Chains A and B, each alone.
Chain A
């Protein structure tokens, strides 16, 4: 059985991200890191490998800038890495991205170890979307469990899974069959970070690169130019109006009373 974890690089969470004069998104010299939610999905795959002796594969659909995310996965303990990319994929919407991911997962599963589980971090922080997760599941014909905070039980032989999900309303325990797709939350584990030696080892890995044709897709059908949803422009956020008004007073009680009066006066309450 194969456990596939999908990741990519995103600008560091502390990066200052802006739209430049030519309309492109820039993050200066801030470094790229793996999508923060994926620290948990990669770690979960490694934990499953240790307990269940499954094979693990880290997958990205992305340009060269995403190779380091795959190497980080290898350095943390994932067995194999695969990258899918070709010119023309830029500007894909979630559906095109998910179509490529699903085809790549099918090919990974056809390699001798069928895929039993695909793990995603809760969302991508660059696209601020989780749509591709559920679209991959539909393209594969598998079910999906979002916002998983714990895998209570998983049996790769009997092909069963039971997970805890964190809903807005509370904690739900739900069971289903494998193969399936899950997205995981921060609560699922304590993320592992690679050792220096493993980073050096992973840096030497040769990672296969698959094109659309390699995974049985028509490149034109999954090209960014054919996407159903197009990003037509990026904009900087409007600056928040004015600067902070510090509430002054002789003591905390006076400050608190003035603030409350102010919030009521401004009809904020």
Chain B
């Protein structure tokens, strides 16, 4: 195949199901491709890649390159990076994008290093200007923003912060060419092996969640998360937690939001019994709407929140759960 220019988007998936961040990246890629006047190609590796490639096209890709091979069934950095590196070398795209999920961040960083190319990491805004990518990237624990500029005329990589960009509309009528490519590494060239996997207990992952209900020291103990989970269930929300509650052993670390936990950007973040220390804010300040429930009217969380209830969370939470259940008809 002769080298063509274009925009590549790597589609992150787990067990044959794409992450919402992958479609957000297709949406951003569509805009960048249109502004550069080049085609948008989705890259899908691993399980169910043909079906996912069809979906990528329906979300806005012009075509797709797929590789479904036993060596790619589980994501591993070596075979994925080798394949992405080869596709980049063969096609010399202008831009390579992916959602800034754990896999997307490490894969694009690795492939950018292989290509000796620039990477704009974890961006919240992105556009192309005279062939160069210009992006906004939060720095210093999200306390300030930086403007990054890539190098025009060579391949530029960028990862897109999860939920910072809208999900594009799906058009089932869209069609495009899907081309299968061979893997680069054979099984005996790969030194890593996935031994086992234990799925997370939370049904809704923090990174993808549209709504998060999060508990802090105010919940008082492990059993204090029960009314939080009940509210989260009614809302189809993920459960989050402050560092203090994780350190106290009330809830597993996987739920920690903040400086040494996860950074999240839901549409709605309900902070329950969370004072709102600056380290917690680092993980949730980009939520679109913040609701604070706290018995202390002077808690710093009220400075960040749009809506607040001052009161006893053990009375407020069941009342909220009940009110949402009635209004949402659940």
CB-based contact B267/A231 at 8 Å: no
- Is B113 positioned at the interface, with any CB of A under 8 Å from its CB? yes
- Is A207 positioned at the interface, with any CB of B under 8 Å from its CB? no
CA distance A228 to B108 in the complex (A): 15
CB-based contact A187/B191 at 8 Å: no
- Is B176 positioned at the interface, with any CB of A under 8 Å from its CB? no
CB-based contact A13/B259 at 8 Å: yes
CB-based contact B302/A244 at 8 Å: yes
Partner of B327, one of A133, A143, A264: A264
Residue of B nearest to A37 (CB): B260
CB-based contact A128/B137 at 8 Å: yes
- Is A49 positioned at the interface, with any CB of B under 8 Å from its CB? no
CB-based contact B144/A18 at 8 Å: yes
For B114, list chain A residues within 8 Å (CB).
138
Known: A234-B146, A256-B320. A162 touches B195 (CB 8 A): yes
Q: How many residues of A contact B (CB 8 A)?
A: 87
From A57-65, A71-79, A171-179, the one touching the partner chain is A171-179
CB-based contact B102/A167 at 8 Å: yes
Partner of B147, one of A126, A185, A233, A242: A233
From A91-99, A111-119, A210-218, the one touching the partner chain is A91-99
From A16, A25, A143, A169, residue with most partner B Cβ within 10 Å: A169
- Is A147 positioned at the interface, with any CB of B under 8 Å from its CB? yes
CB-based contact B140/A125 at 8 Å: yes
Partner of B198, one of A15, A170, A261: A170
Partner of A256, one of B207, B285, B322: B322
List residues of A (230-269) whose CB comes within 8 Å of B's CBs: 230-237, 240-247, 251-253, 255-257, 259-264, 266, 268-269
CB-based contact B316/A256 at 8 Å: yes
CA distance A138 to B109 in the complex (A): 9
CA distance A234 to B323 in the complex (A): 43
Partner of B141, one of A13, A19, A170, A236: A13
CB-based contact B109/A94 at 8 Å: yes
- Is B175 positioned at the interface, with any CB of A under 8 Å from its CB? no
CB-based contact B311/A25 at 8 Å: no
CB-based contact B109/A234 at 8 Å: no
List residues of B (286-310) whose CB comes within 8 Å of A's CBs: 288-289, 291-292, 297, 302-310
CA distance A253 to B311 in the complex (A): 11
CA distance A197 to B322 in the complex (A): 57
CB-based contact B309/A134 at 8 Å: no
For A186, list chain B residues within 8 Å (CB).
253, 256, 260-261
List residues of B (152-169) whose CB comes within 8 Å of A's CBs: 154, 156
For B15, list chain A residues within 8 Å (CB).
169
Residue of A nearest to B111 (CB): A138
CB-based contact B118/A95 at 8 Å: yes
For A229, list chain B residues within 8 Å (CB).
118-120, 148-151
Residue of A nearest to B150 (CB): A229
From B81, B194, B279, B307, residue with most partner A Cβ within 10 Å: B307
CB-based contact A269/B268 at 8 Å: yes
CA distance A236 to B195 in the complex (A): 45
- Is B328 positioned at the interface, with any CB of A under 8 Å from its CB? yes
CB-based contact B292/A138 at 8 Å: no
Residue of A nearest to B261 (CB): A186
For A243, list chain B residues within 8 Å (CB).
303
For B205, list chain A residues within 8 Å (CB).
168-169
Partner of B144, one of A19, A167, A175, A232: A19
- Is B106 positioned at the interface, with any CB of A under 8 Å from its CB? yes
4 pairs of A and B residues whose beta carbons are closest in the complex: A228-B118, A256-B319, A252-B315, A131-B109
